[in-house]
Structure 1
């Protein structure tokens, strides 16, 4: 019985770690989305000011494009990380359900 109880504690500890990782990844995803939103606001401001897309040639436009591309890549990586963590959590929940089922027998 003690071994089963120990297994449950281990699974619950692992679940807590995964939930913390998901929360951290979601916070990062939100931060990256806020950056993307800020970039969209700057684009809208440029449009209102009459600055055409691509009119700002040179280092500043290159820097903005690189920042946008880097942020888009980071958002994609963050989504992938969240999906992987959620899959791990689902797997762990199945193990936890089985362990609690076995423990109650």
Structure 2
């Protein structure tokens, strides 16, 4: 059996796990976006109060970095899903013959 392409059921199981990973990554990205939005509100408040220094620069930089990493992960997972879908289409076509 070694060397044989995976069957449709196996690919569908892999696809489900990958979709769950994408959903989890999207949840994390949303959480990071909410943090960024909260920091923007704090910036507006500080500006209204006349504060000249931003005590949240390091936090903002860390959150921005995490957002970038999160988007990179989501992009990679979506590319993996597209590749898996190509394998699924090939497996379905193979099974129909």
- Same fold, TM exceeding 0.5? yes
Please, what is the CA RMSD of the aligned residues? 1.4
TM-score, length basis structure 2: 0.90
* Equivalent residues in 2 for 1:40-55, closer than 5 Å: 40-52=40-52, 54=53
Higher percent of residues as helix: 1
Per the alignment, residue 60 of structure 2 pairs with: 68
Q: How many residues align?
A: 93
Q: Equivalent of 1:83, from 57, 64, 75?
A: 75
Q: Which secondary structure does the structure 2 equivalent of 1:51 belong to?
A: coil
Structure 1: tracts of 5 or more residues without a match: none
Per the alignment, residue 9 of structure 1 pairs with: 9
Displacement of 1:48: 1.2
Give the whole-Å Cα distance in 1 for the aligned partners of 2:61 and 2:47: 20
Give the whole-Å Cα distance in 2 for the aligned partners of 1:67 and 1:46: 15
Give the whole-Å Cα distance in 2 for the aligned partners of 1:66 and 1:91: 38
Structure possessing the higher radius of gyration over alpha carbons: 1
TM-score, length basis structure 1: 0.84
Give the whole-Å Cα distance in 2 for the aligned partners of 1:31 and 1:94: 31
Q: Which has the higher contact order (CA 8 A, sep 6+)?
A: 1
After the TM superposition, list the runs of 4 or more consecutive aligned residues in structure 1 that deviate by more than 2 angstroms: none
Structure 2: tracts of 5 or more residues without a match: none
